[in-house]
Structure 1
């Protein structure tokens, strides 16, 4: 059965596009934060301010809560999460992806972690529905768990 999948990961993860493609090739509907369905490019902090890495904590809070580009990026991703019945947390990734995966777990939705050798173990990964070490294991877990 086809799942509606939100792949939570990082722009810096070079595996993300291939995982999205593999899930789609297997017949699943996939939200891709790099290319949201509304045609707006995926959110990047550099769109808010090219010097974003030099922000103070107060700058971060102010721009996160007031900048229209941040608001649109948040809205796109949250709608993708609400639409999806499954999260695939693709490691390595950052804090936002872990917040997204936690949201899925808290909402009672399926959450699969796709890890690889060299990733630091995390105790709270036990919240996830399954921990997979390959895309094939993700696909098998999706077919076993239904959608």
Structure 2
């Protein structure tokens, strides 16, 4: 079975069900919403409820100095290092795409789960597999076993 890093977004309502489907097949899954360390997943609002109004300089300052940001980063990075496979669950934001790119750069398996309506992305060719359903993801994971 695979050790999977499920990369997605808090806004993706399908992410929890996909994590459960992966676990239901016997895979171990790092879920950024409920990391292994037991601390709830990182959200910018933990640092400042008005984070969306930050200037670029304020963002950089808090990204590099906040203990809350450091805790979230280390938790997710350790999850990435632990995992042998990334499942990028679209739609998602920039962080999840950086995570998937890290997996590709490390030579680790990267599976993209896309759906109708997603904007095409040329660099998706870096991924090991591009799937359009959870069933295709599960099939791709079985092939790799």
Give 2:72's aligned residue. 73
5+ residue gaps, structure 2: none
Whole-Å separation in 1 of the counterparts to 2:2 and 2:144 = 10
Secondary structure in structure 1 of the residue aligned to 2:40: coil
Give 1:8's aligned residue. 7
Secondary structure in structure 1 of the residue aligned to 2:70: helix
Whole-Å separation in 2 of the counterparts to 1:37 and 1:7 = 13
Give 2:52's aligned residue. 53
Give 1:19's aligned residue. 18
TM-score (norm 1): 0.98
Once the two structures are superposed, residues 30-77 of structure 1 have per-residue CA deviations (whole angstroms, 9 ceiling, x without a partner) of: 000000111101000000100000000000000000000000000000
Please report the RMSD computed on the Cα atoms of aligned residues, expressed in angstroms.
0.4
Which consecutive aligned stretches of 4+ in structure 1 deviate over 2 angstroms post-superposition? none
TM-score (norm 2): 0.99
Q: Deviation at 1:12?
A: 0.2
Q: Deviation at 1:145?
A: 1.3
Size of the alignment, in residue pairs? 145
Once the two structures are superposed, residues 84-110 of structure 1 have per-residue CA deviations (whole angstroms, 9 ceiling, x without a partner) of: 000000000000000000000000000
Secondary structure in structure 1 of the residue aligned to 2:111: strand
